Structure 1
Amino acid sequence: MKATVQIDRKPKPGSSPEEVMYLEMMRTMEALSHRFAQVLKAEDLSSTQYNVLRILRGAPEGLPCGEIGNRMVTRDSDITRLLDRLEKRTLISRCRESKDRRTVWTRITPEGLETLARLDEPVRAAHRERLGHLGIERLHVLTDLLRLARRAPN
């Protein structure tokens, strides 16, 4: 599929195509993240807090802290503090497992589910606003390319 927009592809001297692509991805991520952060600000949430709530909505039985960390889009070195903030706002609850007292299970609360429900449509609208012009076919191609880029080389 051919792109309909002409883009200046002249790399700076010494730049590799990989470096140019990396910088373009970073610029794109910054542009996309800004609009997303504006939507989350309405509920006083960071993108990492939102990520945790989405993870827990998908696991209503709850998850141990380590598993939440493994599933996060961006790694947070202090997951405990992140969970503390969400628990203080009653968006999540934590309890120790009866069989293994070392394991703390985290669950989303009804307040957390309500918060996500309020955000669902504004988040979708923000994504459509920033990416909808690409169309379904290009979005699928771009998604496939990004997944391929994340795979470790053989």
Structure 2
Amino acid sequence: MSSSQLQKELKKKRPFESPEQEAILNLLRTNDQFQNRFGRLFREYGLTSSQYNVLRILRGEGNPLPSLEIAERMIQVVPAITGLIDRLEKQGLVTRKRCLEDRRVIYIEITNSALALLKQIDEPLLSLHKRLIGHLNRTELKELSRLLEKARLSLPGLDD
């Protein structure tokens, strides 16, 4: 049996225990490689991936959002959304507004300087997406998304 590309990359002497193990390790290794490249890009603009994600959510929504709503929409789970918002506020990228009806709710609003920063990031980010997986054709990209969604949708049932 020939060894897989991942097995070679990891210099693993024996085959994987199962196809599931190999697939998950492939997913984790790919995610790590992609995250490193995204992290590098966002650092050039003084942001972390999580900070960029908050700004992307706010720009996409077009209106202020409660911080808990932002946390629910994040790509990666962030344990301390308040600290993340604090740092963005210090950078002048978001503002906080207390809800008048319910004083416990804080709305987060994107600033014009954040919108300008995102506009600067848009093209380099699109270019990075193309460099990372632009060699896959449209059918392969749709299939990759379908398979990843199928794998992710099985997660809630794991703790039943």
Q: For 2:55 and 2:85, how far apart are their aligned partners in 1?
A: 10
Task: Give the equivalent residue in structure 2 for 1:139.
Answer: 141
The one-letter code sitting in structure 1 at the alignment partner of 2:154 is A
Within 5 Å, give how 1:1-154 maps onto structure 2. 8=4, 12=14, 15-152=17-154
Deviation at 1:15, TM superposition (A): 1.2
Secondary structure at the counterpart of residue 58 of structure 1: helix
TM-score by length of structure 1 reads: 0.90
Paired residues in the alignment total 149
> 2:42 and 2:16 mapped to 1: Cα distance?
39
TM-score by length of 2: 0.87
SS at match of 1:134: coil
Secondary structure of the structure 2 residue equivalent to 1:95: strand
Letter in 2 for 1:70: E
Name the structure 2 match of 1:3.
Answer: none
Measured in 2, the distance between the counterparts of 1:47 and 1:27 equals 18
Unpaired segments ≥5 residues, structure 1: 1-5
Matched residues in 1 for 2:27 and 2:49: separation?
18
Unaligned runs of 5+ in 2: none
Q: Structure with the greater relative contact order (CA < 8 A, sep ≥ 6): 1 or 2? A: 1
Identity of aligned residues (%): 39
Higher mean alpha-carbon deviation, 34-43 vs 103-112, is at 34-43
Partner Cα distance (1:14, 1:125) in 2: 34
Query: 1:90-138, CA deviations, whole angstroms, 9 ceiling, x for partnerless residues?
Result: 1011110111111000011101111110000000000101110112111
Runs of at least 4 residues of structure 1 off by over 2 A? 9-14
Quick check: 2:16–2:22 contact (8 Å CA) kept in 1?
Answer: no
